Homo-oligomer: A and B are copies of this chain.
Amino acid sequence: MRLSDLGEFGLIERLTAAVGTAARSESLLVGIGDDAAAWRSGDQVLLATTDAMVEGVHFLTGCQPWADVGWKALAANVSDIAAMGGTPEFALVTLAVSDRIAVKDIDALYEGLAECARNYGVAIVGGDIVRAEVVSVTVALLGRAQIQANGEPFLLRRDAAIAGQAIAVTGSLGDAPGGLRLLRQDMRRPHDDPLLAAYMRPHPPLALGQAAAGLGVRCGIDISDGLLQDLGHICRASKLSASVRAEAIPISLELKNAFPEEALEMACAGGEDYQLLLVGDAAVLRSLALDIDGPLTIIGETVADGDSDVRLLDATGREMALSRRGWDHLREA
């Protein structure tokens, strides 16, 4: 069997089985399979996550500023901590570099990392530097959860959704995949374009994740693999289904103008938006939306159905499906 037959998630399942007894610990609260791991350490609950960016896969040298590569390598990890409702604190950075990269480019990469670290209150405290033909940046980010008065942590987990709850998302979706498409069409496009900026310098809504957890929201995930796929992770972990109203999905005017035909597809199935998806009581999510900067939009609800389906519905309530031309009605009337 080859890796391509398994896919990333198949490989993760295989890993989870392989490490089996090596994944157990009395103090562990959340292990493999959520945005971050969580465990008790003295009077604290700690969070840890790691994300890697590889040249040619996650970024393209020559058309992305190195500072943006550095920013995004850390921001992707901040997004994981935000998706647990926690506070990021300390980062380790592993840099695999080839001698064909100029020192000034590495300096720029570190400057972008440092800028993101200052923005989110993270201290970069160590790392590793290795030689490799292909450049990659791997960040491990440690943080902590907020603790309730009873000593229990406030955590946003993938497996904590309940049927009949509302599904909400932050920001607008699809901007980052739209930006990537623009970049591929024109490598020299100005980087202040809002779609390109969304792709190159994501700003995960950290304060919102913390506020949601503090208000009692118990379920969340970051939208890094695309709305429908990430909501699918919640459905499988929580053993329920979900329905999403296509017209409720927040899509920016910039994305609609740039890709009128494909904006919905990008918002549903594009990756790397690094927004948050929350599942909780509709009234709590609405009050949260009033408290915070930036939009929080209710787009659907969870359904008591163990098939772990994610259904996208049109304005008339009919189910839609993705075809090669975008989202179509699944069943003709």
Interface residue ranges, A against B (CB under 8 Å): 1-6, 8, 11-12, 14-15, 18-25, 27-28, 31-32, 34, 36-37, 39, 41-44, 46, 48-54, 56-58, 89-90, 92-99, 101-104, 106-107, 110-111, 113-115, 117-118, 122-134, 136, 138, 140, 142, 144
Where chain A touches its partner, the secondary structure class is mixed
Does B99 contact A4, Cβ atoms closer than 8 Å? yes
Does A131 contact B52, Cβ atoms closer than 8 Å? no
Number of copies: 2
14 contacts between A and B (CB under 8 A): A1-B104, A3-B97, A11-B103, A19-B117, A22-B115, A23-B123, A23-B125, A25-B89, A32-B127, A42-B44, A48-B90, A50-B126, A57-B130, A132-B134
Chain B residues whose C-beta falls within 8 Å of the C-beta of A97 in the assembled complex: 3, 11
Extra contacts besides A22-B122, A48-B125, A52-B96 (9): CB < 8 Å = A5-B103, A15-B127, A18-B107, A18-B110, A25-B90, A37-B92, A46-B142, A133-B134, A136-B136
Does B140 contact A136, Cβ atoms closer than 8 Å? no
A27 to B328, CA, bound (A): 54
Measured between C-beta atoms, what is the minimum distance from A146 to chain B in Å? Answer: 13
Does A101 contact B142, Cβ atoms closer than 8 Å? no
Does B136 contact A96, Cβ atoms closer than 8 Å? yes
Chain B residues whose C-beta falls within 8 Å of the C-beta of A113 in the assembled complex: 18-19, 22
Indicate which residue in B1, B4, B8, B36 contacts A129 across the interface (CB closer than 8 Å): B8
Does B125 contact A57, Cβ atoms closer than 8 Å? no
| Closest A-B pairs by Cβ, 3 of them | A140-B140, A22-B117, A37-B125
- For A130, give the chain B residue with the smallest CB separation: B52
- For A124, give the chain B residue with the smallest CB separation: B19
Given contacts A42-B44, A110-B18, A114-B18, contact A2 B125 (CB under 8 A): no
Chain B residues whose C-beta falls within 8 Å of the C-beta of A132 in the assembled complex: 54, 57, 134, 136
Chain B residues whose C-beta falls within 8 Å of the C-beta of A110 in the assembled complex: 14-15, 18-19
Chain B residues whose C-beta falls within 8 Å of the C-beta of A130 in the assembled complex: 52-54, 57-58, 136
Does B50 contact A94, Cβ atoms closer than 8 Å? yes
Measured between C-beta atoms, what is the minimum distance from A108 to chain B in Å? Answer: 9
Indicate which residue in B4, B6, B28, B103 contacts A1 across the interface (CB closer than 8 Å): B103
Chain B residues whose C-beta falls within 8 Å of the C-beta of A140 in the assembled complex: 48, 50, 92, 140
Interface centre among A19, A25, A44, A50 (most CB of B within 10 A): A19
Does A99 contact B32, Cβ atoms closer than 8 Å? no
Chain B residues whose C-beta falls within 8 Å of the C-beta of A96 in the assembled complex: 52, 54, 136
Measured between C-beta atoms, what is the minimum distance from A65 to chain B in Å? Answer: 15
Chain B residues whose C-beta falls within 8 Å of the C-beta of A5 in the assembled complex: 103
Does B2 contact A103, Cβ atoms closer than 8 Å? yes
Chain B residues whose C-beta falls within 8 Å of the C-beta of A25 in the assembled complex: 89-90, 123, 125
